[in-house]
Amino acid sequence: MFLCFQGVGDVSGQGPYIAGITNRNTNLGIRGFMLFSIGVFLALVLNLLQVQRNVTLFPPDVISSIFSSAWWVPPCCGTASAMIGLLYPCIDSRLGEPHKFKREWSSVMRCVAVFVGINHASAKVDFANNVQLSLTLAALSIGLWWTFDRSRSGFGLGVVIALLATLSTQLLVYNGVFQYTSPDFLYIRSWLPCIFFAGVITMGNIGRQLALYECKRMSGKTHQD
């Protein structure tokens, strides 16, 4: 994504160069804000699915159900989403491996829908034991990566960030910030790393698509100039 700005402006002239840097930082801030907003929205929606799993029609107290989680959860999810969404295209650029697999918004929306489905399945689908549930969600999460990503960098970042998020959650639960019902993997549920991995892949896809859109828009402006 950052390669798109190499041809913007004349570096020998400080005016165009500074304008290009300012424009890049502005676009980066806009993308970060959009990713943060998407992360907050998904956190609220997924929390609603967890809390209201047996409700078909929206009850009168649905608004209170949306905000029934701790106030810090949506901002934390939004911040993590922004960091992940900005990191993925940056890593692609550093590795010199632009991600071109299924680069359209329809694919991104399907990825989001599958992620929401995986999260909902973790709360709604009944299995004989937690091992079966964890293995099923792991297969679905890897299937999501294979269907919408297939990049080595995407898989590696997904695994690393999922492990870090799992460790952070373990520490939060250990210190009494919140708790899980029926924990089976130390202090948390064993399927949680799968949800983290699927979430990382999803936000990475959104971040890549936003960066691609920005790249095409800036390239169009350069050609017009």
Task: Report the 3 state secondary structure along the chain.
Answer: CHHHHCCCCCCCCHHHHHHHHHHHHHHHHHHHHHHHHHHHHHHHHHHHHHHCCCCCCCCCCHHHHHCCCCCCHHHHHHHHHHHHHHHHHHHHHHHCCCCCCCCCHHHHHHHHHHHHHHHHHHHHCCCCCHHHHHHHHHHHHHHHHHHHCCCHHHHHHHHHHHHHHHHHHHHHHHCCCCCCCCCCECCECCCHHHHHHHHHHHHHHHHHHHHHHHHHHHHHHHHHC
Q: Rounded CA gap, 72 and 185, in Å? A: 24
pLDDT one-digit tens code per residue, 54-86: 433 344 554 455 555 567 788 999 999 999 999
Predicted TM-score (pTM) of this structure: 0.79
Distance from the first to the final alpha carbon of the chain? 20
The tens digit of pLDDT for each residue in 147-189 reads: 999 999 999 999 999 999 999 989 988 887 777 777 788 888 8
Q: What is the pLDDT of residues 100-154, one digit of tens each?
A: 777 788 999 999 999 999 988 877 777 777 788 889 999 999 999 999 999 999 9
